Structure 1
Amino acid sequence: MIKFPSNAKAPARPVLAASVAVFRDGKVLLATRTKPPADQLWSLPGGKVEAGETLEEAALRELDEEVGIKARIIGFNRHVEIFGRDSAGAVTHHFVVASFVGEWLSGEPTTGPEAGAVMWADPLRLGGLATTRELGDVLRRAHALFGEAGGAA
């Protein structure tokens, strides 16, 4: 369960974000989040879309900023909605994340202010990793899409 700060101001509308499942040698890049929501959970690198950039541009920018990886987008995977409510039922956070599938081009993953740990993982075998709620489904779909596009997943 994702914990949400109880003192957060209720959002006026959902926040648009983008992420990318990057594949390299059959593995997918995962990172732990360092901020709520999803603090300390394994997820895909990603973040908020800035005004004037496309969803794909945002996904690639966030990938580079968070973990130092360059990739190319292969296609759209699915969207994920992340929201929370306080004890009174008021919405505290609402994110809509456009999730893409990508192929690694260059760079080695590094940690930073938004990625506490990084690893290349088997997309179909996450074991007992503490992950964001829908990561397993996102990765199964991403793995299939990468394979259909001719990738070596």
Structure 2
Amino acid sequence: MADAVRPTLAASAAVFRGPLVLLAQRGYAPGKGLWSLPGGRVEPGETLAEAAAREVREEVAVEAEIIGLAAALDFISHDADGTLTSHFVVAAHAALWRAGEPVLSDEAVAVGWFHPDEVASLATTHGLADVVQRAARLLAAEGAAAEGAAEGGAEGRPQALAHAPS
């Protein structure tokens, strides 16, 4: 029943390392197998920015500095009969990479650094290319992209690590 499904608050982060953004291929539904931003549920007493930074750390072992809110999105799923099965409200943030190399997990079965212009050609969660572009613009407006690049930006083509779930 639709009445039983309540919106779940979540937070994610578009983590930039120089000109490239970190994406994770989802290991779980909803969106299993799709590229997305690292993120997850907000815990009680946690701010949206704190949740985004924690989720990035937990999912891919990267330390990120949250710069600001890039977008708010609704992810609403229905089953074949049209019954509401889930509703996530996601606060997507722009962030800078600060430390760590991404690792794989059950939640992130592949990870990679991608140029924002390449995101639209990937199989992604709904609206990801737009969110990444918004995050890049926010960082540029804040003057943060140059700072992130100066602090060990990734170079070259996207580097994706593949991992089959165990």
After TM superposition, the score normalised by the length of structure 2 is 0.83
Q: What displacement does 1:78 show?
A: 0.9
2:53 partner SS: helix
Match of 2:79 in 1: 86
- C-alpha displacement at 1:88, in angstroms? 2.7
Q: Report what 2:103 is aligned to.
A: 110
The reply on whether 1:74 has 2:67 as its aligned counterpart is yes
Change in 2 beyond 3 A, CA 1:141/1:36: same
CA distance in 1, matches of 2:116, 2:140: 12
- Work out whether residues 5 and 86 of structure 2, in 8 Å CA contact, stay in contact via their aligned partners in 1: no
Q: CA RMSD in A?
A: 1.7
Aligned to 2:93: 100
Which of 56, 60, 75 is equivalent to 1:63?
A: 56
2:160 maps to which residue? none
Match of 1:36 among 29, 38, 50: 29
Higher helix share: 2
Change over 3 Å in CA distance of 1:11–1:97 after alignment to 2: farther
Rounded Cα–Cα distance in structure 2 between residues aligned with 1:66 and 1:84: 23
Question: 2:27, 2:109 within 8 Å by CA — same for their partners in 1?
Answer: yes
Counterpart contact for 2:5–2:87, Cα < 8 Å:
no
Q: TM-score, normalised by structure 1?
A: 0.90
Look up the equivalent residue of 2:97 and give its one-letter code. Answer: W
Provide the residue aligned with 2:132 in structure 1: 139
Q: Which moved more, 1:118-127 or 1:92-101?
A: 118-127
1:24 paired residue number: 17
Verify the 8 A CA contact 2:14 2:135 in the aligned structure 1. Answer: yes
Structure 1: gaps of 5 or more residues: 1-7
Distance 1:11 1:103, change over 3 A: farther
- Runs of 4+ in structure 1 deviating by more than 4 angstroms, as ranges, are 8-11
State how 1:8-19 maps to structure 2 within 5 Å: 11-19=4-12
Query: Matches of 1:22 and 1:30 in 2, distance apart?
Result: 8
**Equivalent in the alignment of 1:5:** none
- Is there any run of 5+ residues in structure 2 with no aligned partner, and where? 150-166
- For the residue of structure 2 that corresponds to 1:141, the secondary structure is helix
Report sequence identity in percent: 49
Shift in Å, 1:13: 1.2
